[in-house]
Structures are given as structure tokens and as C-alpha cells.
Amino acid sequence: MNKNVSVFSLFIGLLGLATLASGLADILVWAGADPGFSIGILEIAGDDFFRWAWGGAIVAFGGLFMLAGLKNTDDLQQSATVLLGAAMVWIIAGTDIFARFCESVPAGEEAPEFFNSLSGFLAGFAPPYPPAILLLPFTLVVAYVLFTRRFDEAEPPSTADFPNRL
Amino acid sequence: MGLTADERWDIIDAITQRTVGTGTYRRTLGDALGDLTIQPLTGIPVALGVLYAFWSIFGSFAGSLVTDGFMVKLFDSSWLPWLQAAWPNPDSILYYLFVGDPAADNCFEAFGALTSGLFVAIGVVLPAVLIFYLMMTVLEDSGYLPRLAVLMDTVLHKIGLHGYAIVPAILGLGCNVPAVTATRILETRKQRFIMMSLLAIFIPCGAQLGVMLEVIPETVGLVMLYLIIGFGIFGFVLDRLIPGSNPEILIDVPPYRWPAWENVTRKLWSRTKGFLKEAVPFVLLGVLIVNVLYLTGVIAALADLFAPLFVTWFGVPKETVGPLVAGFLRKDLAVAQLSTIAMTPYQMITSVVLVSIYFPCVATFVVMLREGWRELLAAIAVLIAVVFIYGGLIHAIGILMGVA
Amino acid sequence: MKEQSNNTTTILMVGNPNVGKSALFNRLTGANAVVSNYPGTTVDYTAGTLIEDHRTYEIIDVPGTYSLKPRDAAEMVAVRMLDEHRDATVLVVLDATKIERGLYLALEVFERGIPCIVALNMTDAAHDKQIAVDAAGLQRILGVPVIATTAISGEGVKHLADMIRKAQAADISAIRSRLNGQEQNRRSMAGCGGCSGCGGCR
Ligand SMILES: Nc1nc2c(ncn2[C@@H]2O[C@H](COP(=O)(O)OP(=O)(O)OP(=O)(O)O)[C@@H](O)[C@H]2O)c(=O)[nH]1
Ligand SMILES: [Mg+2]
């Protein structure tokens, strides 16, 4: 149990650092007027304030929250802080995926038809991805662990000490 | 009447002792999250995140998916050419009123009731208000709004408002009409007056936001920034000028709840129905009236009359008078019309801000009147002062930055 | 509006903000009042009708208020409605998860001697929070019908509609004496049989 917790803490710690770093990187690429940064399937376009500076700040806060909740992860308040950090990443990843979805359903301005072809639709979801989307699976793991653990704890039926007056 | 407050509380104590039993309650993860969204250190970043999600989803759905993806194509390459060909006699007055410019190749520029009017109402504003109302319903039903109110309390107190003023402000982003009545939850007349004036002046409605997103996507952020700054500055000034108190009250924060699907769809439907019934006819009527005013030369006369004010004081072309007239009927229409006038990007920002602040639309005007005519008159006085001062200020900033 | 045919009773829904009055109102009348999870949703009154057992009720949803001394314009509407409809029956809505503040308002309403009925709403939320409110006991003490409801699922709403006709004025001094352990008048109330011990069915 104890060991599990510390492995989990280590995981959150690394994830928090990665998240913080990617949030800061988003902002830096935007501020540095860099034409965009990309390696492999990771890309930080950094072309607009809203997505990269504002959105990057939210990712960075997500990382900070995860780090802040690191100590004592079996404390409820601390778990909630970690979960909140994960949720910040979901905001950015979720809206990014939704934006891709909205852009790939219609065929595009030049095409004569209204709806995109299936392959065109799927191509809209092809890499490269921004860091938030790449972090998404890891944050989901964190949420999964936190939720299942809470359920374990709530198991002893609390109706026993519940004064039945009705 | 008999009892004092203390006597009542005594009775209540006795009653609850006999009828209420509390078991041991374990805090859940949800409760802990709820607390985190109120504490400033975590709450403010979360609020920024919520705002981000709101705007991003709004833009993706209304902008990319519905309007740019389908409506533009539908209206510009099918509806407009068909109507231009089918409507007889391009030189007639009816053609001018309903179809507009026979040479136009898009529905923004044609400016007939059935071209621009329909396009703005159905193609641009309907998807915008739909997604807007959906997200607002989720905010309302989840219980996030009162938490935002707690977070904003300190800031809003600086401009003479209670944190709860955030509720009418956010409702106002959907539509100013219910927002004006919602100011009733503020305690003193001073607070209500400040909020009502600021609401009518600085809060753009969802319809207007939708059009702004479509016609000036790059600068809508700056427009919003100007509006928020104006809200702060004039709130601060009004707070100093208007007598009255600004009491603290406790905000009762309800627990988070999952929005019930049934309630969400019900609200979404009734609000959308309201929009279709009330706003769409107004947009079409607005186009007709403005076209008649153009035809009869009223707008040209007004433009010449106000030219000195517009050109030298606000720094915008005199043609913007036309949209300002339309703006009295519908702000969304006014912004759409502005987008067809040739001007520099900064003039565009200035004129969009002017359209937002210069006068509430008729519907808002009517509810404000219902809340009290004295307040309405005072609000108009405030409004005129604000338009002059702020319009000039924005022009001056533009000159200083070398862009105007 | 007020002078309607004799068999129409006006019911005013009174309660603290955010206790589920509008949700209950929608359930009772099938109307479309706005329901949101923050206090101060309703700022004006809405009327709807309920036909139950050949009786017609005009139900009015009013803004939530903490007491009958209004602090803001919305609460003023609530108090004004009470003053305007002197012959109305009041449906007091309580939030079972925090009944104290609701009872304060309820007592103020009782003091006016108006016929009342109490809906103990949010019983599901109370259950989740491990709070148990004894509706029958409350009914015995207050001497007016108390019905447990859950407005969002509709539980208890049918019963509530059915019981509206049994609304009656509460008597503060009787409440006090019952609280002081003088339960003698309890027996006479139980004589009714049908509705677990509220006072006189007329
Ligand atoms: N869990 C639960 N939630 C409820 C119940 N009744 C209402 N709600 C929720 O409580 C919130 C408030 O409901 P409203 O009906 O708007 O409350 P109101 O009393 O009309 O509030 P004001 O108009 O502000 O005075 C909404 O989110 C409802 O969905 C209930 O019985 N159980
Ligand atoms: Mg209500």
C-alpha cells in the first residue's frame, strides 16, 4: 500500500513537472515570436494569444496544482488539488479536440459539398498534437486512480450510525 | 405581531432537536473540489480556465462548425444567387429593401432583409446564442455562478458592487433583457443603478458576440478588453458619484449538482424559442427600416450632421451613423453592417466599441423603463457622458499608439 | 385576477432562495419557470394552475426570501405578494438539508395566521448528506401538513397536490406548548385518521 502510494506520488510529480513545463513552453513560444516549435508528434504553434498564452497559463497552473497536491496524496483535500490540476489539462485538451472536430466536419470553403469525406474528417485528428492532448492520457490515469481509491474508502455502510427516525 | 427573532430561533432549536438527525457525513472529492474553486489561489486559475473553455467552445461551434462550415456556403453560394436571379426587377424599391445590392457576392454586403437579415439572424446569431445558452445553462445549473460571485466579491466591491453582481453580468452576456430584471437581487438602489447602467452600456449580448466573432475574429479580444476596462473605470467613478451604501451580504453558496438533462433542454428550448420569436423578426425589421432610412436620405443627412463629431472626436468614418441607427434595434445587425464599411482596423475596433456602448437596444430599453423611469433617465445621462468620454479616450489612445 | 370564481384558491409558494420552489412549481403546474442552481433565480412572480380533485388552484411562484423583512427588490416582490393575497393559502417550501433558516420564514408566515402547508423538499439531497428530517414529527409539532418531496424527480409531488386542501393556519402558542411536552392536544388531532395526525380536517 505504502509503496503503491509513493509510486503514484512519483508519477504525479513527474506529470506535474511535465505539465508545468509544457504550459510555460506554450507561453514562451508565443512570446518569443518563434515560428513554432515541433518535434515528432508534438507541436507548439504559438501563433495566437488566446490559445497559447492564455491556454498555456492554464496548463501551467494545472502542473502547479498537481505539484501542490503531491504531498500526502491520500488526504482528500490533496487528492482534490491533484484532480483539479488534471481537470485544467482536460479543459485545454478537450477544447482542442472539440475545435478539431468542428473544423473537420464541414468540407471546407472551396469544396462544393457540405460535409467532409470520412478520410478528410479523420485527417483532421492526425498528429502533430499540442502538449495538452499528449498529457491527456496520463491525467486520465491519475483521475482513474483517485476515483477508484475514494470508492474503496467510502465502502463501509455509513447507514449504521444513521439515526433512523422516520 | 408576536415573536422576536430570538424567540423564533428558540422555537426552531427545539423543533430541530426533535425532528432532525444527522449521521456522520464524509466529505467527498466533490466537496473538496467545491472548496478549491472558491479559494482565490486555486479559484482564480479555475475561473480563467472556465472562461477559456467558454470562449473556445463558443468559437469552435458557432464560428468554425456552423457559420463558416455550413451557413456561409449555404447563404452565399445557394440562397443569395438564387434570390438575386429569382426576384424580379433589380431596380425596384422592393428589390432594394429585400434583396439589396444586385452585385453583391456575399450576404453581409447585400444588405436586404431576406439576404443579410436572414443570414445574420439564422446563419450567424442563431448558432451563437444556441451554444451560448447551452453553456450558460450548465454554469447556472452546476452551481458555479455563486462561487464565481464569491471570488469576484473583492474586485466588484471596489466599483461599488456586490460580488453577486456577477450574476446579472453573466446573464447579460446572453441577453441584456433578463439581466436587467436580475439586478433585483442587489440590495440597495445605488447598487442596482450602477449595475443596470454598466450592464446596458458595457456588456455585449450573445448575439452581438456571435457577429463580432464572425466579422472581426482577430480584434474581438481587444474590443472585449476595452469594454471590460470601461466597465471598471466607470463603475469606479459611479461608485464615487452616487450616494448610497454598498453593504456586505453573505452569499449563500449551494452545493455543486449535476445539471439535469431535462432542465437543460427545457431552458435551452424556451430561450431559443424566445430568440426565434422575438429577435429574428426584429433583425428583419431592422434591415427594412435602415434600408428605408437610406432610401429617403435620412441616414445621409444624419451622417453629415454628425460628421464632425464622428470624424474628429471618435475618429471613425461618418458612414458609421447608419449602423448606429440599426444598433438601436439590434446590436448584432449593427456590427454586421459595420463590417461592410471600409475603415482601418483601429477604426473598426473603435466603432464596434461605440456600437456596444452607445445605446441599449429597444428590448433592453423597455425592461429598464419597467424597473423605473427615473433610473432610466439617469442611466441615459450616464450613457451619453460615457459615450463621449470613452469614445474620445479610445480615439486618443489610438493616436498615442500611432494607429488611429 | 384576485376576484376569481369561488372555487379557485390562490396558493403562494414561499421559501428561502434556492430551495426548489420553481422546480416544485413546474412539477405542480406543468409550467416553465426558470430553475437554476443559485439563489435569486426567480426575481418576479409567475402564476400557473393546478386542477386537483375538481378543485382549481392558482399557484404563484414568488422569489425566494430569507424573512418577511425584505432586503432587496426581489424579496420585496415576495412580501408584496403575501400582502396582496390576504386570502391565499401559503405553500412553505423548506430545504431538508438546511431547515433552520426555512423554519424561521415559516414561523413568520405562521404568525400571520394564514392557512399553510409545508413541503419538505430536497429529501434526496438530505439523504445523501446523512440528514434525516422527521416529516411526521414536524407535522405533529407544527400542526400543519408536512409533505416530503423531491422536486427534481417528482417524488411526493402527487401527495403534496392531494394535501393542499388540508392546509390550515398554524397556532404559534400551540406549537410552543407541544414543544414544552404538553402533548395532550395531540390525541384530538389524531382523530382524523386519514393523514397521519395533522389538525382538524375540515
Ligand atoms: N437534489 C435536489 N435538487 C433539487 C430539488 N429541487 C430543486 N432542486 C435543485 O435546486 C436548485 C434550485 O431550484 P429552484 O427551483 O430554482 O429554486 P428556487 O427556490 O425557485 O430558487 P429562487 O428562485 O432563487 O428562490 C436547482 O438546481 C434544482 O435543480 C430536489 O428535490 N432535490
Ligand atoms: Mg425560483
Q: Does residue B120 contact residue B284 with C-beta atoms inside 8 Å?
A: no
Low-confidence ranges of chain B (pLDDT < 70): 1, 249, 404
Please tell me the distance from the alpha carbon of residue A154 to that of residue A76, in angstroms, as a whole number: 12
Q: Name residues contacting ligand 1 (CB within 6 A).
A: B 141, 257, 260, 263; C 15, 17-23, 35-37, 39-42, 63-64, 121-122, 124-125, 150-152
CA distances, B268 to each of A98, B132, B261, B264, C176 (Å): 21, 10, 10, 6, 47
Number of helical (H) and strand (E) elements in chain A, helices listed first:
5, 2
Please tell me the distance from the alpha carbon of residue C94 to that of residue A77, in angstroms, as a whole number: 31
Task: With beta carbons under 8 A apart, name residues in chain A contacting C124.
Answer: none
In chain A, the residue whose alpha carbon lies closest to the alpha carbon of B48 is A58
What pLDDT score was predicted for residue A48? 85
What pLDDT score was predicted for residue A153? 47
Report the gap between the CA of B197 and the closest CA in chain A (Å).
29
Q: In angstroms, what is the span from residue B267 Cα to ligand 2's centroid?
A: 13
Per-position pLDDT tens, chain C of length 202 = 444 455 788 999 999 999 999 999 999 999 989 999 999 999 999 999 999 888 899 999 999 999 999 988 899 999 999 999 988 999 999 999 999 999 999 999 999 999 999 999 999 999 988 899 999 999 999 999 999 999 999 999 999 999 998 998 988 888 888 888 765 444 444 444 445 444 444 3
Greater model confidence, A112 or C137? C137
Of A79, A161, A163, the CB nearest to B29: A79
Please tell me the distance from the alpha carbon of residue C83 to that of residue B265, in angstroms, as a whole number: 36
Spell B248-278 as b/e; 16+ CB within 10 A means b: eeebbbbebeebeeebbebbbeebeeebeee
ipTM computed for the complex: 0.87
Residue A149 has pLDDT above 80, yes or no: no
DSSP assignments along B61-128, one per residue: IIIIIIIIIIIHHIIIIIIHHHHHHHSS-TTSHHHHHHT--TT--SHHHH--IIIIIHIIIIIIIHHH
Site to substitute for ligand 1 among C16, C21, C59, C131, most atoms within 8 A of C-beta: C21
Provide the whole-model pTM.
0.88
Architecture of the domain made up of C8-179: 3-Layer(aba) Sandwich (3.40)
- Specify the residue with its C-alpha closest to ligand 1, atom 14: C20
List the domain boundaries for chain C: 8-179
Q: Is C32 helix (H, G, I), strand (E, B) or coil?
A: coil
The full length of chain C comes to: 202
B76 touches chain C (CB under 8 A): no
Q: Which chains touch A (3 or more CB pairs under 8 A)?
A: B, C
DSSP assignments along B23-35, one per residue: ------HHHHHHH
In C85-183, which ranges are continuous DSSP H helix? 99-111, 123-128, 135-142, 157-163, 172-179
The x, y and z cell numbers of residue C70, run together, are: 425584505
Q: Does residue B240 contact residue B362 with C-beta atoms inside 8 Å?
A: no
Q: How confident is the model at residue A158 (pLDDT cuts 50, 70, 90)?
A: very low
Among all chains, which residue has been given the C-alpha cell 428530517?
Answer: C133
Interface of B with C in 126-165 (CB under 8 A): 137, 140-143, 145-146, 164
Pairing of strands C115-121, C146-148: parallel
Is the Cβ pair A106, B68 closer than 8 Å? Answer: yes
Q: What percent of chain A has pLDDT over 90?
A: 45
In chain A, the residue whose alpha carbon lies closest to the alpha carbon of C134 is A166
List the domain boundaries for chain A: 3-150
Nearest atom in ligand 1 to C18's CA: 21
